[in-house]
Amino acid sequence: MSALRGERVVRCGPVSLRVSLRAAWVGSALLLAVLGLAVLLLGTGSLPIRSGQVLASLLGQGDNEMVSRIVTRVRLPRVLTTVLVGSTLGMAGAIFQSIARNALGSPDVIGFTTGAASGAIVQIILFDAGPLATAVAAVAAGMLTALLVLLLARRGQGSDGYRLVLVGIGMGATLAGLNQLLLVTGDLDQALFAQLWLAGSLNTRTWAHVLPAAVGLALIVPVALLHGRELALMEMGDGTATQLGVAVERSRLRLVLAAVGLTAIATAAAGPIAFIALAGPQLARRLTRTAGVPLVCAALMGAALLLVADWLSQRLAATAQLPVGLVTGVLGGCYLLWLITAQRQRAG
């Protein structure tokens, strides 16, 4: 193990890994925050439960059967879904913003989340599909939307970051109009169900939502992490990355597919949720101050932000729980206005 400008190089045989000490500390702090917020949420609800009882129930040592059942069967699937969805959105946002080299390059801004939602709405309105078919349609539609945006954003042999954002925004607006058309022309009961799904909600989450999201995350995250070096090099520009041995277009396609897969998994599990993919990676980058792309820290930050939003959605409403997508939408709008204002002040 050797020191290198606040970093450590860990060698294991022929493999070496460079680790930023600051990023490691930030990641550890975020992990502790996620665990603390998860325990807080497990005790939040119509029946408040103390943290000690929550931990005892999770360890199988609870002396109150009703409390243990509420924690493990009702609230734990919701909290795990929240952590998984926030993590996938945080990592997907980090990938998209790095590829686009633009702070606005998050999946909810450039239309990929809307594309995934379109597939789900088609299944709900036209085919009255169940949760599994809706989730599969969301993943497939998200992938198709990403491919269309990439093809339309191509210029010459590559794709420009700003052009990618603009094409994505246009695609998202088009698909949003299509979604509203389907809602207006569909059956009333199905349209109401689809409208509730579009609000983005973590209510009534079960293990049927947790398992697909966990499997998808386990399959896609290693792909993203293995391309972390290429992602960092592509931030310096396609020409520089190519000179350093990166197959830019091939790496970009793989990373986009991985990020779209993460976005579609999150959308299928909880519906469209804004703000997390936009703010999570930027806050993680500000905290870590590393030259590379903080994929792991962005995922942990996304999980922490969504846990906070879910807690607010349960505490702000007096009679019923608000859909978490409405809370993140309001927070995201305020954050976006602050981001634009701050950039304008720096430019001036």
pLDDT of residue 82: 95
CA dist 122 and 192 (Å) reads 14
For position 4, what pLDDT does the model report? 47
Task: State the pLDDT at residue 113.
Answer: 84
Whether 92 contacts 263, CB under 8 Å: yes
**pLDDT tens per residue across all 348 residues of the chain:** 344 455 665 555 555 556 678 888 999 999 999 999 999 999 988 888 888 888 888 888 877 788 888 898 989 999 999 999 999 999 999 998 888 777 777 787 778 888 888 888 888 888 877 777 877 888 888 888 888 888 887 765 555 667 777 888 888 889 988 888 888 887 877 888 788 778 888 888 888 889 888 988 899 999 888 888 888 888 877 777 888 788 887 888 888 888 888 988 888 888 888 889 888 998 898 898 877 778 999 999 999 999 999 998 888 765 567 788 888 888 887 877 877 777 666 665
Q: What is the pTM of this model?
A: 0.86
pLDDT of residue 32: 96
User: Residue 295 contacts by C-beta under 8 Å, 6 or more apart in sequence?
Assistant: 91, 94, 95, 224, 225, 228, 231
Residue position matching structure tokens 């305020």: 334
Note the pLDDT of residue 2.
41
Hunting for tokens 């094409």 — which residue is that? 167
pLDDT at 111: 80
Q: Is the Cα torsion angle 232, 234, 237, 240 positive or negative in sign?
A: positive
CA dist 110 and 149 (Å) reads 9
The DSSP-derived string for 50-108 is -HHHHHHHHTT--S-HHHHHIIIIIIHHHHHHHHHHHHHHHHHHHHHHHHHTSTT--TT
SS3 18: strand
Q: How many CB atoms lie within 10 A of CB 216?
A: 21
Q: Report the C-alpha gap between 225 and 312 in whole angstroms.
A: 32
- Classified as helix, coil or strand, 333 is helix
Measured CA distances, 151 to 3, 119, 209, 235 (Å): 44, 20, 32, 20
Q: CA 51, 54, 55 angle in degrees (round to 5)?
A: 90
C-beta separation of 261 from 143 below 8 A: yes
**Measured between alpha carbons, how far is 237 from 228 in angstroms, rounded to an integer?**
15
Buried b (16+ CB within 10 A) or exposed e, 253-292: ebbbbbbbbbbbbbbbbbbbbbbbbbbbbbbbbebbebeb
* Whether the Cβ atoms of residue 323 and residue 273 lie closer than 8 Å to each other: no
Distance between CA atoms of residues 96 and 35, nearest Å = 27
**pLDDT reported for residue 81:** 94
Domains of the chain: 2-11+20-340 (1.10.3470.10)
